[in-house]
Amino acid sequence: AQSVTQPDIHITVSEGASLELRCNYSYGATPYLFWYVQSPGQGLQLLLKYFSGDTLVQGIKGFEAEFKRSQSSFNLRKPSVHWSDAAEYFCAVGARDILTGGGNKLTFGTGTQLKVEL
Amino acid sequence: DAGVTQSPTHLIKTRGQQVTLRCSPKSGHDTVSWYQQALGQGPQFIFQYYEEEERQRGNFPDRFSGHQFPNYSSELNVNALLLGDSALYLCASRAAEAQAQYNEQFFGPGTRLTVL
């Protein structure tokens, strides 16, 4: 069974500081990995995704993530955090639908709440 | 191009009642998934509909049922509501593709259900 662990429930950083959010996954095959962001009262917005190939993936809003198979990790990074980045961040692992080739269910971590101090 | 839309935005019910939540997928999408997000938790997969059939189901009781219509819109029904059913219910849609490619799921804003 697939699972995702986000060890940090809350993280506080100063505006302009760098950010790294941790994510570890468990999956029997090559995973599809995602980072989503959720602002209060909003749905989920996809920041970036990893399917295959280059292990360093670039996303929107200046975020990037690195897939490390040996560590079963997919950590999210941003060199300089902006106050508007304050939100909850979810890492997710997805399976592939063998029949349709499309995405099957996503399994999410419990999320990391990011607070940005001005 | 409208994204995924859900209705209603908020809903308050009492224990034992039944509720129906609605979802319209993004234009061009034909596969709809439902997720439950309890307070302080990540979303949990309930089920997925494609071609008007339930294709995959998560670990949810039979009180949770769904339907997909010919226009690809979907409903989530929950019977005999429990206090623990209070959550944000998210709908996600994607296109089923013929190519060997993973298509991104797009999420709606959710329906906040409160059970008293």
Report the chain B residue with the minimal C-alpha distance to residue A31.
Answer: B102
pLDDT in tens, A1-57: 789 999 999 999 999 999 999 999 998 777 889 999 999 878 899 999 998 888 999
Kindly give, in sequence order, each residue whose CB lies less than 8 Å from that of residue B6, ignoring residues fewer than 6 positions away: B21, B22, B23, B24, B89, B90, B91, B108, B109, B110, B111
> Residue A85: phi, psi to the nearest 5?
-80, -10
Q: Give the pairing type, strands A112-117 and A87-96.
A: antiparallel
Would an 8 Å CB–CB cutoff place B111 in contact with chain A? no
Q: What CATH number is attached to the domain comprising A11?
A: 2.60.40.10
Query: Under CATH, which architecture does the B5-115 domain have?
Result: Sandwich (2.60)
pLDDT in tens, A51-76: 888 899 999 999 999 999 999 999 99
How many domains does chain A fold into? Answer: 1
Domain boundaries, chain B: 5-115
DSSP structural state of residue A80: S
Between CA A48 and CA A58 the distance in angstroms is 7
Please give the residue range of the domain that contains residue A107: 3-117
CB contact (8 A) between residue B109 and residue A105: no
The residue among B85, B42, B34 whose CA lies nearest residue A113 is B42
